[in-house]
Amino acid sequence: MNTEAKQQIKNDLSQFVQQVGGQMAASRRFVGVSNATISNIINDKWDNIADGMWLSIQNQLAGFKEDWVIDHSVRRMRMMPAIYSDAMKFAEFFFVVAKEGSGKSEPAKHFAKNENVFILKAKDYLNRKTFLAEMLAAMDKNHGGYTIYEMMDLLVEAILRFEHPPVFIIDEGDKLSDLILYFFITIYNETEGKCSIVIQATEYLKKRIIKGVEMNKKGYRELYSRGGRRFIELPDNTNDEIKGIIRLNGVSDEATVNRIANDSEGDIRRVKRLVKAYKAKKEAA
């Protein structure tokens, strides 16, 4: 990365620090960026700062400029990148569960900015062939005219070609059919140590798999075993965290912050909708 690009990142970082009220407050918004690193960049002490760190800061700053700002100080926003990183480092298979609307998708989208990380959103209407097609398309692999068997072979071959294990994050995993869930047993078996899989969903998936294990349903014991015989359960967002998200996204009136937090019932989608409605009404006034 050249000096000109670093200078632009420094300028953007300095502006962000001012917006959030200081370097310590800024460091809490980032993932994997310390207060010391922010200080060094702003004070032109760049010698020991790797290009990867510059790129990480650049990507995260770009995210802060989006219409909806992600609050990286929220516990799940700190936990989920760590889960994805562990999956990547150790080529693991994880199940992650949390309440609907609690904000599982945003951390996945953010982490997917890293190289060799692929995020797929499960849909009720996907069958085995269309799901494999989406996995292959995510890696820019041509899959036209192939049978399911051939597509699976192509997928496994593509995964094994990566120098470092790719990460597949499957969002809204509750919507996966049994036949598609069984795919992950095959993928894990054929690429063990060479591929990372994170299936994130609501509590429904946990109940479904546990029930399948208890009933000795085909494939469920093996699926449960591949996931380490556990489900990583994310904590609920606290009321203070919800309020922090609301403030970070431009609502400064405390009465409105409290009203939106109380009306949201902890659902981040509803928080987003209420914040946008408030800001639109304020702009129209």
DSSP states of 58-112 = HHHHHHHTSSS---TTSHHHHHHHHHHHHHHHHT-EEEEE--TTSS-HHHHHHHT
Banded model confidence at residue 67, pLDDT cuts 50, 70, 90: low
183, 191, 194, 94 alpha-carbon torsion, rounded to 10°: 40
| Angle subtended by helix axes 239-248 and 254-264, to nearest 10 | 130
pTM for this predicted structure: 0.73
Residue 65: per-residue pLDDT: 63
Paired sense of beta strands 196-201 and 232-233, if any:
unpaired
Q: State mean pLDDT over 124-139.
A: 89
Residue 206: per-residue pLDDT: 95
Residue 219: per-residue pLDDT: 92
Residue 172: per-residue pLDDT: 92
Tokens representing residue 146 in the block: 């192939």
Tokens representing residue 76 in the block: 């799940």
Q: State mean pLDDT over 5-16.
A: 89
Q: State mean pLDDT over 96-115.
A: 83
**pLDDT over 90 at 108, yes or no:** no
Residue 66: per-residue pLDDT: 58
Closest CA to 269 of 113, 75, 102, 79: 102
Sign, CA torsion 89/90/91/96: negative
Residue 100: per-residue pLDDT: 82
- Which residues neighbour 169 within 8 Å (Cβ) at sequence distance 6 or greater? 84, 108, 111, 112, 117, 118, 119, 120, 198, 200
Residue 20: per-residue pLDDT: 73
**pLDDT over 90 at 48, yes or no:** no
Q: Please tell me which residue, 78 or 98, carries the higher pLDDT value.
A: 98
Q: CA 117, CA 119: separation in Å to the nearest integer?
A: 7
Residue 281: per-residue pLDDT: 85
Residue 233: per-residue pLDDT: 93
Q: Give phi and psi for 10, each to the nearest 5.
A: -60, -45
Banded model confidence at residue 204, pLDDT cuts 50, 70, 90: very high
Banded model confidence at residue 170, pLDDT cuts 50, 70, 90: very high
**pLDDT over 70 at 59, yes or no:** yes
Q: Give phi and psi for 53, each to the nearest 5.
A: -70, -40
Are 84 and 93 contacting, i.e. CB atoms less than 8 angstroms apart?
A: no
The secondary element (H helix, E strand) that includes residue 166 is none
Q: State mean pLDDT over 40-50.
A: 90
